[in-house]
């Protein structure tokens, strides 16, 4: 029995010692986390995520959460008998779709995330792109194909800096233009632009795959490290959901973020594993 306790304690201590230099390095730094996929759907993963984010705040980091809610939006659209379509990884959005998306993102998911963080011991504040005109948006170039999907032209960081000093900001990826027209905004893009505007130290994207796979579907083809030039070269040929994530990594790094990470949100505590262990998981993009 004592032997078990010793080895168990040894591994726990080793883990803490491994984390220490990272905690020291990240102290006082801003980390933008794109929260989405399974990590938002599974109850155990939701709890693990909240625990991780609260821990980050306690050890002196400034976490900023940007979330989408794709699966949940789809569920509500199907329930309401609305057609669900995607074009080049973006949700085709008519006025009705935008209304449902906003209702789900701001009214439901944002409130749930804030409540969960509060319950775990750190005060969080929910925001959307409309709050304090946080996001200025204009229609995406292919608006004829996708409808009311907005691209973020500017992020007003004053609002965020005020809040992030004391609270954990939780940002829903919806916004409207100056005329008051609401838009769907891709949450990956929102996270990348927020990280760039804040000059965040790191941007982390939780997803439902191991990371960027050289051959999609082949888990053995994980690209664990890539530099900006490599991503820029391969980006035009990419399809599906990885494309906006990698584009968001580029946005973040061009804005001064030191590194961007695409990690598997299906793994409990993947956030802590990526930040505080030597091995890390997923794909890391650096300048």
The pLDDT tens digits of the residues spanning 133-153 come to 899 999 999 889 999 999 999
Cα–Cα separations (whole angstroms), residue 210 to 47, 57, 72, 207? 20, 26, 22, 8
Cα–Cα separations (whole angstroms), residue 87 to 4, 44, 190, 223, 237? 54, 32, 18, 26, 15
Please give the mean pLDDT across all residues of the chain. 90
Written as six digits, the tokens of 218 are: 């082949």
- Classify 228 as helix, strand or coil: helix
Written as six digits, the tokens of 213 are: 């796979």
CB 151 within 8 A of CB 47: no
Written as six digits, the tokens of 63 are: 């976490």
Instruction: Tell me how crowded residue 142 is: count the other CB atoms within 10 A of its CB.
Output: 12
Instruction: Tell me how crowded residue 252 is: count the other CB atoms within 10 A of its CB.
Output: 31
User: Average pLDDT, stretch 80-99?
Assistant: 90
CB 112 within 8 A of CB 165: no
pLDDT at 284: 92
Instruction: Tell me how crowded residue 219 is: count the other CB atoms within 10 A of its CB.
Output: 11
CA 95 to chain centre: 25
If we measure between CA atoms, which residue out of 188, 193, 204, 182 comes closest to residue 245?
188
What is the DSSP secondary structure assignment for residue 187, as one 8-state letter? H
CB 182 within 8 A of CB 98: yes
Written as six digits, the tokens of 277 are: 């262990």
Most confident of 16-20, 123-127, 240-244, 279-283: 123-127
Spatial CB neighbours of 270, under 8 Å, sequence gap ≥ 6: 39, 206, 263, 264, 281, 282
What is the DSSP secondary structure assignment for residue 225, as one 8-state letter? E
pLDDT at 145: 92
Instruction: Tell me how crowded residue 254 is: count the other CB atoms within 10 A of its CB.
Output: 12
Q: How confident is the model at residue 9 (pLDDT cuts 50, 70, 90)?
A: low
Stretch among 40-49, 163-172, 271-280 having the lowest mean pLDDT = 271-280
Distance CA 45, CA 41 (A): 8
Q: What is the pLDDT of residues 195-252, one digit of tens each?
A: 999 999 999 999 988 899 888 877 788 888 999 999 899 888 887 788 889 999 999 9
Distance CA 43, CA 140 (A): 34
Stretch among 34-48, 53-67, 167-181, 210-224 having the lowest mean pLDDT = 210-224
Distance CA 40, CA 71 (A): 9
CB 281 within 8 A of CB 269: no
Distance between start and end Cα atoms, the chain: 49
């Amino acid at each position: 029995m004592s032997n078990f306790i010793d080895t168990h304690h040894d591994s726990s201590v080793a883990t803490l010692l491994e984390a220490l230099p990272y905690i020291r390095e990240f102290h006082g730094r801003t980390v933008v986390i794109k929260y989405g996929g399974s990590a938002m759907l599974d109850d155990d993963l939701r709890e693990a995520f909240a625990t991780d984010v609260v821990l980050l705040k306690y050890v002196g980091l400034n976490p900023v959460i940007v979330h989408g809610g794709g699966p949940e939006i789809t569920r509500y659209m199907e329930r309401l008998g609305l057609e669900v379509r995607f074009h080049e990884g973006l949700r085709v959005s008519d006025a009705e779709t935008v209304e449902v998306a906003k209702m789900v993102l701001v009214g439901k998911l944002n409130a749930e995330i804030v409540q969960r963080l509060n319950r775990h011991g750190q005060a969080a504040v929910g925001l959307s792109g409309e709050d304090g005109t946080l996001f200025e948006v204009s229609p995406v170039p292919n608006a004829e194909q996708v409808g009311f999907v907005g691209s973020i032209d500017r992020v007003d960081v004053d609002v965020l800096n005020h809040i992030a000093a004391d609270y954990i900001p939780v940002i829903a990826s919806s916004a409207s233009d100056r005329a008051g027209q609401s838009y769907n905004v891709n949450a990956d893009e929102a996270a990348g632009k927020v990280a760039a505007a804040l000059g965040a130290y790191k941007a982390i994207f939780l997803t439902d795959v191991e990371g960027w796979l050289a051959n999609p579907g082949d888990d053995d083809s994980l690209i664990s490290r890539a530099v900006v030039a490599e991503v820029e070269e391969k980006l035009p040929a990419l399809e599906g959901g990885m494309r906006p994530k990698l584009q968001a990594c580029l946005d973040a790094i061009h804005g001064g973020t030191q590194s961007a990470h695409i990690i598997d949100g299906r793994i409990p505590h993947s956030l802590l594993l990526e930040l505080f262990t030597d091995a890390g998981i997923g794909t890391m993009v650096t300048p």
